[in-house]
Amino acid sequence: MTSTALTWFARHEIRLAWREWLAMMTAGRRGRKRAAIVGLLIFAALMHLPAYAVIGRYADLQAPLDKSALIVITATIFLAWALMLSQAIESVTRVFYARADLDLIMSSPVRLTNIFSVRLAAIALTVTAMALLFATPFVDVLVLGGGIRWLAAYGVVIAIGLTAAAVAIAVTIMLFRMIGPSRTRLVAQIVAAIIGAGFVIALQVAAILSYGTLSRFAVLTSDAAAAFAPDADSIIWWPARASLGDGEALLLLLAFGLLLLGAVMAIFSGRFADTAARASANAAPARHGARARAFRSGSRQQALRWKEFALLRRDPWLVSQSLMQLLYLVPPALMLWRSYSDSSVAIVLITPVVVMAAGQLAGGLGWLTISGEDAPDLVVTAPLPASRVIRAKIEVVLIAIGVLFAPLIMALVLASPLQAAVTAIGVTVAASSATAIQLWFRVQARRSQFRRRQTSSRLATFAEAFSSIGWAATAALALTLPLAALVSGLMTAAILAAAWKISPRRE
C-alpha cells in the first residue's frame, strides 16, 4: 500500500468517525447538522461557567507546588486518563465487533498491517479529539485566569489521550488472546465501565473509611497521602508539572505518549487483522439458555414480564452499562454501614445519591423495556391491547428498581426510619418520573442501540436528568429544610409537566 493510499484510508477513517459522531449528535437526521453544531458551541460556551466554578480558583497556582496540590492535580489528570481509557476500550471493542467494513477491508488487496495501523491511529485521534473537546472549557478558564502558560494543559490532554488509546488497544487485544473473542466483548465493556467510575468511587470509599465523608478531596489532601507520595522531582508529577507550563516535562510526556502508541501499533497492528477475523467469526457464540423445563402457565402480561426480565438478566452489555450507575451506590452503602455506630449527619447525603441513582437506572431500564423492543411486529400483532403491553413493561421497570433498592432502604430503616421513608418515596417518584419520560418520548429501536438512546430525543435526556437531580435535591431538602423541599418538588414537577407538554402526541 502506497503512502497516498494510506493517506486516503486515513481520510476515510476520519470521515467515518466524524459522521458517526454527527449522527450521534443529530440522531441521524441530516437537517439537524447546523443545529447540532450551533447547539454544541452554545453548550461549550455554557460549560465555561461550571468549569470556572470548579477550577477557577486554581488558575493562580505557581510552581513549585506543595505535595497536596501535586496530588490533587495528578489525581485529576489520572481521572481524565481513566475516563479516556474507558472510552478507548469501548472504541476498540466497537471496531472489532460492530464495523461492517471488516469483510471488505480484509478481502481487499492491501497489506492489512498498514491498514490496521491507520485504524489504530484513527482510534487514538478520535479519543484525543473528544478529550480535547471536553477539556477545552476547563483549560480556557485556567488560561483566562492564570495566563497562557496553562495552554500547556492541552498538550497534557493530547499526551494522555495517546497513552490511553495505546493502553486500550493493548488491553483489548491481550484480552482476546487470553479469554477468547466470545468473552472479550463482555469483559472489555465491564472493564471500561469499572475504569470509568472506579477511580472516583475508590477515592470515596477510602475517604469514608478514613474520614467518614463522601469527599474524595479528604483523602487527596490528607497528611497520610502527602507522607506516602514520592518526592517532588519524581516522574509521577510530570503531568502536573507539564500542565503548569513546564516545557521539558510536556515534551517528555508527549514523546512518551507517541512512543507508546507507536510501539503498540508496531506490535499489535499485525495481530489486529487476525483478532478482527476471529471476532467476526465468533461475534455471537452459541450460548445455552435455561435448562429444559416445561412451559409456564400464566397470563399474557406474565409472559411479557417474564420475557422482559429474561432479556434484562441475559444482557451482559446492559449489565456493564448499568454497573456504572450501581457502582455509585457502593460509597453511600458503605457510609450507611459505618453510620450505624454514630449519629453523623453525613448519613443524610445518602438519600439524594440513592434517589438520583434510582432515577437514572429507571430511565435506562425504561428505555430498554419500552423503546428497545427487538420484535415490535410480534408484540403489535399479539392479541392484547397496547395499553396492557405498556403496563407490563412499566411494571418490569418498577419491580427491578424495587428489588435493587429495597435492601438499601431496609438497612436505612434501622439507622433512621424517617430518612428511610423519605428515601423510599424519593426512589419511587424519581423512578416513576424517569419511566414516564421514557414513555412519553418512546421510539421504536433495537436494544443494541441502548448506548445511543440519548440521541433520539435530547429533550427526553435533559428532562430525565433534571427530573432525577430535582427529586434527589427534593429528598435531601425534605430531611433538612422541608419548606425548601416543597419549592424544589414543585419545580421538578413543573419540569415533568413541561416534558409531558412537549412530548410527541401519543395515542
CA 433/CA 353 separation, integer angstroms? 16
Interaction between residue 403 and other proteins (CB under 8 A): no
Please state the closest distance from residue 293 (CB atom) to other proteins, in A: 9
Number of residues counted as binding other proteins (CB under 8 A): 36
Binding residues among 59-78 for other proteins as defined by CB under 8 A: none
Burial of 425 (0-12, 13-18, 19+ CB in 10 A): middle
Print the binding letters for residues 179-218 with other proteins: x by CB under 8 A, - otherwise: ----------------------------------------
Strand partners, 372: 445
Among 148, 227, 286, 483, binds other proteins (CB under 8 A): 286
285 binds other proteins (CB under 8 A): yes
The residue within the footprint of other proteins, chosen from 100, 148, 290, 403 (CB under 8 A), is 290
| Using rule CB under 8 A, residue 379 touches other proteins | yes
For residue 387, give the H/E element and its range.
Answer: helix 386-415
Residue 505 contacts other proteins per CB under 8 A: no
372 phi and psi angles, rounded to 5 deg: -80, 75
Query: Which one of the spans 3-11, 49-57, 230-238, 377-385 is the region binding other proteins (CB under 8 A)?
Result: 377-385
Residues 6+ apart with CB under 8 A from 86: 192, 193, 195, 196
Residue number, 134 or 306, with CB nearest to other proteins: 306
Binding segment for other proteins (CB under 8 A), chosen from 78-86, 160-168, 256-264, 382-390, is 382-390
Tell me the three state secondary structure of residue 118.
Answer: helix
378 contacts other proteins (rule: CB under 8 A) = yes
DSSP result, 466-481: HHHHHHHHHHHHHHH-
Q: Which stretch binds other proteins (CB under 8 A): 83-91, 296-304, 360-368, 485-493?
A: 296-304
Q: Which stretch binds other proteins (CB under 8 A): 41-49, 194-202, 293-301, 418-426?
A: 293-301
Return the sign of the alpha-carbon dihedral for residues 223, 228, 233, 238.
negative
d(CA 46, CA 56) in angstroms, rounded, equals: 15
Nearer to other proteins, 20 or 374 (CB): 374
**Interface with other proteins, residue 295, by CB under 8 A:** yes
Q: Which of 66, 223, 231, 377 binds other proteins (CB under 8 A)?
A: 377
148, 294, 403, 483: which one binds other proteins (CB under 8 A): 294
Choice between 293 and 501, CB closer to other proteins: 293
Is 133 among the residues that bind other proteins (CB under 8 A)?
no
392 within 8 A of 323, measured Cβ to Cβ: no
Cβ–Cβ under 8 Å, residues 320 and 192? yes
Kindly state whether residue 382 participates in binding other proteins, applying the rule CB under 8 A. Answer: yes
* Nearest residue to 239 via CA among 133, 57, 81: 81
Cell digits of residue 14: 476520519
Selected binder of other proteins within 315, 349, 456, 460 (CB under 8 A): 315
Identity of the residue, 21 or 309, whose beta carbon is nearer to other proteins in the bound complex? 309
- Cβ-in-10-Å burial (0-12, 13-18, 19+) of 424 comes to buried
For 16, other C-beta atoms within 10 Å of its C-beta total 15
Stretch that binds other proteins, among 148-156, 302-310, 322-330, 486-494 (CB under 8 A): 302-310
Q: According to the binding rule CB under 8 A, does residue 381 interact with other proteins? A: yes
Alpha-carbon distance of 470 to 492, in angstroms, equals 5
Helix (H) or strand (E) holding 497: helix 482-502
CB of 295 to other proteins, least distance (A): 4
Give 445's strand partners: 372
Q: How many whole angstroms separate alpha carbon 52 and alpha carbon 381? A: 54
| Helix 67-98 × helix 112-146 angle, to 10° | 150
DSSP string, 188-213: HHHHHHHHHHHHHHHHHHHHHHHHSS
Residue 306 binds to other proteins (criterion: CB under 8 A): yes
Question: Using the rule CB under 8 A, which residue among 2, 383, 387, 403 binds other proteins?
Answer: 383
Q: What is the x/- site pattern for other proteins, positions 336-375, by CB under 8 A?
A: --------------------------------------xx
| Residue 310 found at the interface with other proteins (CB under 8 A) | yes
Contacting positions for other proteins (CB under 8 A)? 284-292, 294-298, 300, 302-304, 306-307, 310-311, 314-315, 374-385
